[in-house]
Amino acid sequence: MTSRHREVEHTYDVEAAAELPPLVDLPDVASVGGPLRYRLEAHYFDTEDLALGRRGITLRRRTGGNDDGWHLKLPVRGARQEIHAPLGRTVTAPPIALRRIVQGVVREVPLGYVATVTTERTIASLRDGDDALLAELCDDSVVATRAGDAGDEEHVWREWEVELHAAAPRLSKALRRLVRGAGAVPASGPSKLGRLMHLDADASLASRPGIGPGASEHDLLSWHLVGLVADLQRLDPMARADLPDAVHQLRLVVRRFRSALRSFSACFDGAATEQLRDELRWIGDVLGRPRDLEVLQEQLSELLMDQPRQLVRGRMGTWMGARLRAQHRAAHQDVLVAMASDRYFALVDALEACATDPPWSERPDRKASTTLPKVLHREWRRVEKAVKEADAADQRDRAELLHRVRKKAKRVRYAAEALKPVLGAEARDTAATAKKVQRSLGAHHDAHVAIDHVLGLADAAYDDGRDTFTLGLLAARLEAALATHDAAFRRTWKRARAHH
């Protein structure tokens, strides 16, 4: 069994003789607890070439504190997500639950011991008037050794670690100002292991140079695809861990890659990218199922709460929520199975190869800002044509045709976003317009899909001998919402055509 929490902290290097500054006069701080003292011993695990560390990921087995166990830390924007597993019986092999999360990074390469870090930690806790924990300031004296160092060479340093809990921004800012005023400087490594192993603090950020408006087609598209692969690599372990919104974000990366190969198809060798597009469609469909269930559960929960209490019969919210959560767990398990398959790893390898050495078509490489705007115009015309087809259809077919409009609007948006470096404001405006169309139709599609799910739930409830009145009510509310969303789309489309 694992547990998890989001960790927001700032780490600073300090001299051995530095004195911890007074903390009681900081904003919002009513009391300072401690000091609490611990001796922490952590054994770090990675591949021989530090595949995890180079991605900003750390995996350790730590004893001596109030959270003994295995800790896997994944970098997320502005923070780290820590996943905790019990110590267990083994000291030489990470738990399988944690290894599965990093499988996309390490594949089948063994994870072995790479370093030991021993920390003498003193903790001061900052609390408000209600005794809620706002932040902790940890004063760490560190002794670290690398596996294989001759004579177990020790590396010694001191650092202060500010971990934020319920701290408001003004307290966070005041803490940073206070510790830097006491002589602290931002840490020289992304983590204790990163400092010991001389890992680049920016390695996990996939930092890369920008690209200018004069870029060629090949330079722009290669730059775009490399960025998408970096996003896929960053999101892969998060999706495996089922962190909030991670599966959805990974699915978006897959869609953007596939859309780039399709929208800019004239630049690529079609025979070389056809199978890649098919495989992207496959994994996108797998990733879509848990995401769709997340949206559905949130949508139906909100709709149920909006109904008068006397119309909600038979503890329907509890029953419905349990079924949807079970379906989501099953869908995420399908994601894990797919992402553990040779087929998925072959796809990732193919995407990396496509980004670093794209299969260009035989047409000459030309200036992107001269040739690629035609792509936006072509994709927009496809949206207009799809809207006309939807307007000409009867009501029975309109929902499906509007979904096609939405997908084509997404393709406009993704193409425009890819062209921002060379087209600037023109691409930003087009992307913003397409996004409004897409979002307007997103609500319509969600309601349409939800109706089918609610009717399926009604069948299951009937088979269980439950009162289906509330589910019928929800289906009726969703049918009414379809008309409202359709009218909203018509207004959005009118503005979009005028703007475009």
CATH code where residue 380 lies: 1.40.20.10
CB 225 within 8 A of CB 257: yes
Burial class (CB in 10 A: 0-12, 13-18, 19+), 75: buried
Does residue 301 carry a pLDDT above 80? yes
Q: Average the pLDDT over 427-444 and give the result.
A: 94
Q: Are residues 117 and 236 in the same domain?
A: no
Does residue 244 carry a pLDDT above 90? no
Give the tokens for residue 498: 């005028």
Q: Are residues 171 and 232 in the same domain?
A: no
Residue 16 maps to which CATH number? Answer: 2.40.320.10
Q: Given 163, 180, 204, which residue is the final one in a domain?
A: 204
Residue range(s) defining the domain that contains residue 95: 3-204
Q: What whole-number distance in Å separates Cα of residue 32 and Cα of residue 22?
A: 10
Does residue 261 carry a pLDDT above 70? yes
Q: Average the pLDDT over 251-272 and give the result.
A: 95
| CA dist 212 → 52, 224, 264, 368, 377 (Å) | 32, 13, 19, 10, 22
Q: Are residues 31 and 151 in the same domain?
A: yes
Q: Are residues 334 and 189 in the same domain?
A: no
Question: Mean pLDDT across the chain, nearest whole number?
Answer: 90
- Ranked by mean pLDDT, which of 67-81, 146-160, 217-231 comes out on top? 217-231
Q: What is the CA radius of gyration of the chain?
A: 27
Q: Is residue 151 part of a domain?
A: yes
Q: Average the pLDDT over 216-228 and give the result.
A: 95
Does residue 206 carry a pLDDT above 70? no
Q: Is residue 212 part of a domain?
A: no
Strands 155-164 vs 133-146: parallel, antiparallel or unpaired? antiparallel
377-398 per-position pLDDT tens digit = 999 999 999 999 999 988 888 9
Q: How confident is the model at residue 194 (pLDDT cuts 50, 70, 90)?
A: confident
Count CB-CB contacts under 10 A for residue 325: 12
349-377 per-position pLDDT tens digit = 999 999 999 999 999 999 999 999 999 99
Q: What whole-number distance in Å separates Cα of residue 134 and Cα of residue 337?
A: 40
* pLDDT value of residue 143: 93
Share of the chain above pLDDT 90, in %: 67
Does residue 46 carry a pLDDT above 60? yes
Residue type, 285: D
Q: Are residues 26 and 64 in the same domain?
A: yes
Count CB-CB contacts under 10 A for residue 481: 19
> Which neighbouring-strand residues pair with 136?
125, 163
Q: How confident is the model at residue 167 (pLDDT cuts 50, 70, 90)?
A: confident
Does residue 23 carry a pLDDT above 90? no
Q: Are residues 186 and 257 in the same domain?
A: no
Q: Are residues 192 and 223 in the same domain?
A: no
Instruction: Among 58-62, 293-297, 386-390, name the one with the lowest average pLDDT.
Output: 293-297
Q: Are residues 229 and 85 in the same domain?
A: no
Q: How many residues does the chain have?
A: 500
φ, ψ (nearest 5 deg) of residue 340: -95, 0
118-151 per-position pLDDT tens digit = 999 999 899 998 999 999 999 999 999 998 765 5
Residue type, 292: D
Q: Are residues 238 and 129 in the same domain?
A: no
Q: Are residues 151 and 226 in the same domain?
A: no
Give the tokens for residue 124: 């001061």
Q: Given 148, 177, 204, which residue is the final one in a domain?
A: 204
* pLDDT value of residue 187: 87
Q: Are residues 301 and 350 in the same domain?
A: yes
Does residue 205 carry a pLDDT above 50? no
Does residue 209 carry a pLDDT above 80? no
Q: Are residues 198 and 228 in the same domain?
A: no
Q: How confident is the model at residue 204 (pLDDT cuts 50, 70, 90)?
A: very low
φ, ψ (nearest 5 deg) of residue 160: -110, 135
Please tell me the total count of domains within the chain: 2
* pLDDT value of residue 105: 95
Share of the chain above pLDDT 70, in %: 97
> Which neighbouring-strand residues pair with 118?
41, 143
